[in-house]
Amino acid sequence: MTVDYGYGSAASQPADTGTSAGPRPLDQLPRLARDTTAENPWPVSVLSQKYHNAVAKWPEAWVEGQIVEINMRRSTSGYITLRDNFEEVSLSVMGFSRFVAKARDFRQGDRVVVHGKADVWVKATRLSFVADDIRRIGAGDLKAQIDELRKRLKGEGLFDAENKVPLPEFPACIGLVCAPQARAEGDVITNVNLRWPAVRFKVVHAHVQGAQCPADVIAAIQRLDADPEVDVIIVARGGGSFEDLIGFSDEGVVR
């Protein structure tokens, strides 16, 4: 049985879990949030559709941010991820032919303003921004800062081979820095044991993305570096976007 909740075609129908005969018809659902109860709640699809309907009433806007991901492989649609210039906040932006034609000239790290309307994708209750225009407002601060840091540290000789500590051929103990419950931990230990079964590991967990990443990783490295049993340290994480990996470009981590 299919029942239209009356909130638009995008509203998904609740799955039949065996605890009810099926989705309730519209006239049995509360119209307002204040009227919902534990016995008469909104289905998730209804709440998501209400978000969608509310956001759809917002006017068009210009939004400023920095490009941390960009995908313009198709001529008819494209996607970028904007990061706030000061806060750890991101926004998914999509656009179609007109937007793609302009966005192809942009690169990761560019500071931009985009014009369009906010939208909520009902299936995942996810906020996004549908853009029709994009303009550059200056060089990408984040990318420029990383490039400047790389040049400065290179000038100090930090990356020179003669300044690097030689790696032991057969370490007895490896210090491993990774996220808790990360696949990277198992992957590293499994692959190292295949080549050198006698090795021992000392694992220190840390945040490997987000605002806490640099301080956590630095503290973990310092802890393992001070341990006389540790012969070599591995800092590991899975792949990720430019934004996910930005913590590893922190000067303290690099040093």
Instruction: Give the model confidence (pLDDT) of 43-54 as tens digits.
Output: 999 999 999 999
- What domains can you pick out in the chain, each with its CATH number? 1-57 (no CATH), 61-142 (2.40.50.140), 165-254 (3.40.50.10860)
Q: Can you tell me the distance from the alpha carbon of 123 to that of 235, in angstroms, rounded to the nearest whole number?
A: 36
Spell out the residues 6+ positions from residue 209 whose beta carbon is closer than 8 angstroms to its own: 237, 240, 244, 245, 246, 247
122-153 pLDDT, tens per residue?
A: 999 999 999 999 998 865 566 777 888 888 88
178-215 pLDDT, tens per residue?
A: 999 889 999 999 999 999 899 999 999 999 988 889 99
Question: What's the first-to-final CA gap in the chain, in angstroms?
Answer: 63
Which of the listed ranges 16-30, 113-127, 139-153, 235-249 does the model predict with the highest average pLDDT?
113-127
- Residue (of 109, 104, 54, 45) closest to 79 by Cα position: 104
**Residue 152: enclosing H or E segment and its boundaries?**
helix 141-155
Q: Is the pLDDT of residue 223 over 80?
A: yes
What does pTM read for this prediction? 0.52
Can you give the C-alpha Rg of the chain in angstroms? 25
Q: Can you tell me the distance from the alpha carbon of 185 to that of 85, in angstroms, rounded to the nearest whole number?
A: 32
